[in-house]
Amino acid sequence: MGKPTGFLEEKRQTVGEEAPLERLRHWNEFKVEPPEEQLRKQGSRCMDCGTPFCHTGNLVSGMASGCPINNLIPEWNDLVYKGRWREALDRLHKTNNFPEFTGRVCPAPCEGSCVLGVIEPPVTIKNIENAIIDRGWDEGWVTPRIPDSRTGKKIAVVGSGPAGLSCADQLNQAGHEVTVYERADRVGGLLMYGIPNMKLEKEKVVQRRVDLLAEEGVRFITGCEIGKDLSATELKEKVDAVVFCTGATKPRDLPIPGRDLNGVHYAMDFLTANTQHLLDHGVNGSLPEPNALGKDVVVIGGGDTGTDCVGTSLRHGCKSVTQLEIMPRPPESRAPDNPWPEWPKIYRLDYGQEEAAAKQGADPRQYLVMTERFLDDGHGNLAGLELVDIEWQKDENGRFVPQKKENSRRTLPAQLVTLAMGFLGPEQTIVEQLGLATDPRSNIQAEHERYLTSVEGVFAAGDCRRGQSLVVWAINEGRGAAREVDRYLMGVTSLP
């Protein structure tokens, strides 16, 4: 802590953003790089906490409190305040393989548990993290680290999302021969196709890191779906260990009347088609299928994926966009049953809602709403939704369940619906081929901190093991699985 009075002298100041209506004109990232002096002042706000909860990474009330990868946040905040950027980057890379990803898309549970946040707005941890790694790339400090020797052990990593990439990176640095299998045409998994370009640029940010990993020795095979193009049993026979990092890609459906109408899509299919079209064709005036041009769009579900559907639909040129949430509107400040250092469950406008409010005049979200059925235009196409308001009440077992309100039924026009209601676990083809044990939620069963499945030599990490979660948890698990694979193969490990 370089400035004991920093938190008393400086107010929280986040990075600037391009105005909502301006950024709707393009697909580029819209954060405005702040001057160095502002970042140094923000770093000075980091307090000399007796216990810095920001990097604890605990689960409190089922949610992340602090950084799941245990970033050394107070240390690099202090180094940024002192202008020692190269050292700050070294500290950041000690715990985080890909700070340019987390600095852009992580919801920042570290800030939710910042001790300063008890009495003042918290330190701008996420902004500072992103500035450190961006400066590292700009200055040429991020360079290939090629292992001095190889162990001769061969490892297959299935899935190239944040868990798979972090696992592959760590195992490669330990000297093993690592091959990453990805069923899509590009490496990155969720990072490449699940997150829109305006939040995480693909060529400048994701592909840059993938290229570095390849230069360091990681081998990537795209367009190969394990379980289909190559059976999981065949793959296992070819290598010394397999790590499954396939994610939780089975979407939650809404099986109500009209679900099969043209115009009802899973959110991830909608987002993936858009990003793939953008990467294949650039900004040339054409749009992918499905698209939102001229349509009334309804996004069912909240969270980051729902927000991304809102922002994408607006950039397509939709006629209107509405977002439906079955839960109540969060309070403006922490509720009594949501104390620090829990993640603050408060009302926020994310980038998509900000853009919709600027375009349409109001937050697009409607709360405590349930969709009863999708309406047919008479030709098999979606024409609208039938909605009903609900309230949450306890049933005879004491569980809160939605109860429909009388006289609240109404219709909402829509020609495009995206279902953004989360995911139910991993797809089961690989599980069935290898006979892997699963937990009650259909996730691959593997003990946390060990990651070994019920089959010898087969490991699992990330969302396919823990269920749908955060990018930082995926990186945490990928690193942890790499450590245990190294121990399994070599008897000992020096990986963190």
Has residue 305 been placed in a domain?
yes
Residue type, 345: K
State phi, psi for 228 to the nearest 5 degrees: -125, -65
Among 115, 139, 163, the domain-final residue is 139
Minimal CA–CA distance to 387: which of 300, 321, 311? Answer: 300
Per-residue pLDDT at 51: 87
Has residue 451 been placed in a domain?
yes
Clarify whether residues 21 and 126 are in a common domain. yes
Has residue 255 been placed in a domain?
no
Clarify whether residues 286 and 396 are in a common domain. yes
Clarify whether residues 206 and 306 are in a common domain. no
Which pairs count as long-range contacts for 314-320, CB under 8 Å and 24+ apart, including other chains? 314/24, 314/352, 314/355, 314/356, 314/359, 315/24, 315/27, 315/198, 316/274, 316/287, 316/291, 316/292, 317/292, 317/293, 318/292, 318/293, 318/294, 318/416, 319/294, 319/295, 320/296, 320/360
Question: For residue 382, what are the β-bridge partners?
Answer: 376
Has residue 259 been placed in a domain?
no
CATH of the domain at 205: 3.50.50.60
Has residue 22 been placed in a domain?
yes
In three-state form (DSSP H/G/I as H, E/B as E, the rest C), the secondary structure along the chain is CCCCCHHHHCCCCCCEECCHHHHCCCCCCCEECCCHHHHHHHHHCCCCCCCCHHHCCEEECCEEECCCCCCCHHHHHHHHHCCCHHHHHHHHHHHCCCHHHHHHHCCCHHHHCCHHHHCCCCCCHHHHHHHHHHHHHHHCCCCCCCCCCCCCCEEEEECCCHHHHHHHHHHHHCCCEEEEEECCCCCCCHHHHHCCCCCCCHHHHHHHHHHHHHHHCCEEEECCCECCCECHHHHHHHCCEEEECCCCCCECCCCCCCCCCECEEEHHHHHHHHHHHHHHHCCCCCCCCCCCCCCEEEEECCHHHHHHHHHHHHHHCCCEEEEECCCCCCCCCCCCCCCCCCCCCCCCCCHHHHHHHHHHCCCCEECCEEEEEEEECCCCEEEEEEEEEEEEEECCCCCEEEEECCCCCEEEECCEEEECCCECCCCCHHHHHHCCCECCCCCECCCCCCCECCCCCEEECCHHHHCCCCHHHHHHHHHHHHHHHHHHHHCCCCCC
Per-residue pLDDT at 1: 65
Both tokens assigned to 406: 């009388």
Q: What are the b/e assignments for 82-104, b being 16+ CB within 10 Å?
A: eeebebbbbbbbebbbbbbbbbb
| Residues of the chain under the 70 pLDDT cut | 1
Clarify whether residues 281 and 394 are in a common domain. yes
Per-residue pLDDT at 96: 97
Clarify whether residues 337 and 442 are in a common domain. no
Range of the domain at 129: 6-139
Has residue 118 been placed in a domain?
yes
Per-residue pLDDT at 64: 85
Number of domains in the chain: 3
Among 79, 106, 139, the domain-final residue is 139
Clarify whether residues 283 and 413 are in a common domain. yes
Clarify whether residues 208 and 194 are in a common domain. yes
- CA–CA distance, 30 with 307 (Å, rounded to integer): 15
Per-residue pLDDT at 50: 86
Has residue 193 been placed in a domain?
yes
Please check whether residue 308 is in contact with residue 196, taking contact to mean a CB–CB distance below 8 angstroms: yes
Clarify whether residues 321 and 409 are in a common domain. yes
Clarify whether residues 428 and 407 are in a common domain. no
Clarify whether residues 412 and 433 are in a common domain. no
Question: For residue 61, what are the β-bridge partners?
Answer: none
CATH of the domain at 86: 1.10.1060.10
Clarify whether residues 275 and 349 are in a common domain. yes
Clarify whether residues 347 and 482 are in a common domain. no
Among 107, 139, 171, the domain-final residue is 139
Has residue 258 been placed in a domain?
no
